[in-house]
Chains A and B, each alone.
Chain A
């Protein structure tokens, strides 16, 4: 009787431990999934597109590899879901570039409808002329006169060259 009781207790304990471990693993997984970028990649699977609503590009029949996240012709995409998980449906237009490494660039896109920003990695299939035109857009309309930039250099921050030249 004593033995049985003990055994039952032990079994129960083991079961309990097992459940506890399983529960902990699950919660850890969930936690990691929420924290890491898997979540973002899950929402990015929604972004795959076969035709562009902005310029009318369609997926050619000899396309190799995975479906693109943005149109390789005009670099815009479709904003299906916001970060909070709401539906949006606007067009993401490219506004700038982020140079992560020298080889890795990311396109910064902005939703026309809700104004949310997001980034997608650039690949070799993208339209080079469009890339150059977007990257040179800030240079074409600077907020300060470029021909006097040497005089402006010392205004905002410290500069060793202009400190003594007053």
Chain B
């Protein structure tokens, strides 16, 4: 273990090949996060508020000096059907994505997925126009 600790301290590319399973406290909402129960060893966001911190440029290199909060802006679905949260750094605007964990707050995830349907960029009249167009043709 001593050797492992040394490697971790001095090897810059340690986290590119090894998952980081340390407990941490969310800097946005103060939620204590433990690695158990995530279903994935690459958890990078708080299960309560889904916020993340900008540490990496590439996955696993701790190479960023930004340390900004990364807010969840959306959700997309991979080919095998699992959800992926898209994060965006509020300071530098970098976009990254991470798998959802098993204990992420389902209500917040559903709120993220439902967000486009709650705004007025596509008005109801337009949808009615589309349905009218397809029912006549």
List the interface of chain A (C-beta within 8 A of B): 37, 95-99, 101-105, 108, 110, 117-119, 122, 128-129, 131-132, 135-139, 141-144, 149, 152-153, 155-159
Q: Least Cβ distance of A131 to chain B in Å?
A: 7
Which residues of the other chain, B, contact A153 by a CB distance below 8 angstroms?
106-107
- Which positions 52-94 of chain B face chain A at CB distance < 8 Å? 73-77, 81-83, 86, 88, 93
Contacts of A117 in B (CB 8 A): 86, 95-97
A144–B118 CA distance with the chains assembled, in angstroms? 21
- Residue B31 lies at the interface, judged by CB distance under 8 Å to chain A: yes
Interface residues of B in 78-132 (CB under 8 A from A): 81-83, 86, 88, 93, 95-97, 100, 103-110, 113-122, 126-127, 130
Contact of A105 with B108 in the complex, beta carbons under 8 Å: no
A128 pairs with B76, CB closer than 8 A: no
| B114 contacts across to A, CB distance below 8 A | 139
Specify which chain A residues have a CB less than 8 angstroms from the CB of B113 in the assembled complex. Answer: 138-139, 142
A-contacting residues of B (Cβ < 8 Å)? 31, 47-49, 73-77, 81-83, 86, 88, 93, 95-97, 100, 103-110, 113-122, 126-127, 130
B31 surroundings in chain A (CB, below 8 A): 157
Give Cα A26–Cα B74 distance, bound, in whole angstroms: 39
Known interface pairs A128-B122, A156-B47; A96-B106 also in contact (CB < 8 Å): no
Contact of B95 among A99, A119, A144 (CB under 8 A): A119
Interface of B is mostly: mixed
User: In whole Å, how far is A113's beta carbon from the nearest beta carbon of chain B?
Assistant: 16
In the A-B complex, the 4 residue pairs with the closest CB atoms:
A156-B105, A157-B48, A95-B76, A96-B74
Residues of A with C-beta under 8 A to B82: 143
Partner of B106, one of A108, A122, A136, A155: A155
Q: What is the chain B residue whose CB lies nearest that of A122?
A: B121
Q: Which of A96, A128, A141 has the most CB of B within 10 A?
A: A96
One of B48, B49, B83, B88 near A143 (C-beta < 8 A)? B83
Instruction: Collect the chain B residues with CB atoms within 8 Å of residue A119's CB.
Output: 95
Q: How far is the CA of A99 from the CA of B120 in the complex (A)?
A: 10
* A159 proximity list for chain B (CB < 8 A): 107
When distances are taken between beta carbons in the complex, the residues of chain B under 8 Å from A101 are 119
The answer to whether A128 touches B127 (Cβ under 8 A) is: yes
In the assembled complex, the CB of A124 is this many whole angstroms from the nearest CB of chain B, namely 9
* CB-defined contacts of B108 to chain A, threshold 8 Å: 156-157
| Cα distance, A105 to B117, chains bound together (Å) | 12
A105-B119, A157-B48 given; 16 more Cβ-contact pairs under 8 Å:
A96-B86, A98-B74, A99-B116, A103-B119, A119-B95, A128-B126, A128-B130, A138-B83, A139-B114, A142-B110, A142-B113, A152-B106, A156-B105, A156-B107, A157-B47, A157-B105
